[in-house]
Amino acid sequence: MKLLAPSILSADFANLGKDVLMCNNSQCDWLHLDVMDGVFVPNISFGLPVIKAIKKHATKPLDVHLMIVNPDPFITHFKDAGADNLTVHYEACTHLHRTVDGIKKAGMKAGVAINPHTPVHLLHDIIADIDLVCVMSVNPGFGGQKFIENTYSKIEALVQLIQQRNSKALIEIDGGVDMNNIKKLYTTGANVLVAGNAVFSTENPTQTIAAMKGIV
What are the catalytic residues? Answer: 34, 174
Name residues contacting Zn ion, limited to 161-200 (CB under 5 A). 174
Among candidate residues 159, 154, 150, 148, the one with its CA nearest the CA of residue 189 = 159
The binder of ligand DX5 chosen from 196, 208, 209, 212 (CB under 6 A): 196
User: Whose CB is nearest to Zn ion?
Assistant: 65
Q: Which stretch binds ligand DX5 (CB under 6 A): 2-10, 18-26, 91-99, 165-173?
A: 2-10
Q: Which one of the spans 85-93, 159-167, 174-182, 207-215 is the region binding ligand DX5 (CB under 6 A)? A: 174-182
Site membership for ligand DX5, residue 111 (CB under 6 A): no
| CA R_g for the chain | 16
What is the rounded CA–CA span in Å between residue 127 and residue 65? 17
Q: Which does 191 bind (CB under 5 to 8 A by kind): Zn ion, ligand DX5, none?
A: none
Please list every residue from 65 through 104 that binds ligand DX5, using CB under 6 A. 65
- Please tell me whether residue 47 binds ligand DX5 under the rule CB under 6 A: no
Residues 6+ apart with CB under 8 A from 59: 24
Q: Is 32 an interacting residue with respect to ligand DX5 (CB under 6 A)?
A: yes
Does position 174 bind ligand DX5 by CB under 6 A? yes
**Strand, coil or helix: what is 203?**
coil
Over the window 51 to 90, marking each residue x when it contacts Zn ion by CB under 5 A and - when it does not, the resulting string is --------------x-------------------------
Answer yes or no: are the C-beta atoms of 131 and 111 closer than 8 Å. Answer: yes
Q: Is 40 exposed, middle or buried (0-12, 13-18, 19+ CB in 10 A)?
A: buried
Q: Which residues 125-144 are close enough to bind ligand DX5 by CB under 6 A?
A: 138, 140-141, 143-144
Judged by CB under 6 A, the residue of 34, 37, 63, 84 near ligand DX5 is: 34
Contacts by 101-107 with C-beta closer than 8 Å and gap 24+? 101/129, 102/72, 102/75, 103/75, 104/129, 106/75, 106/76, 106/79, 107/79
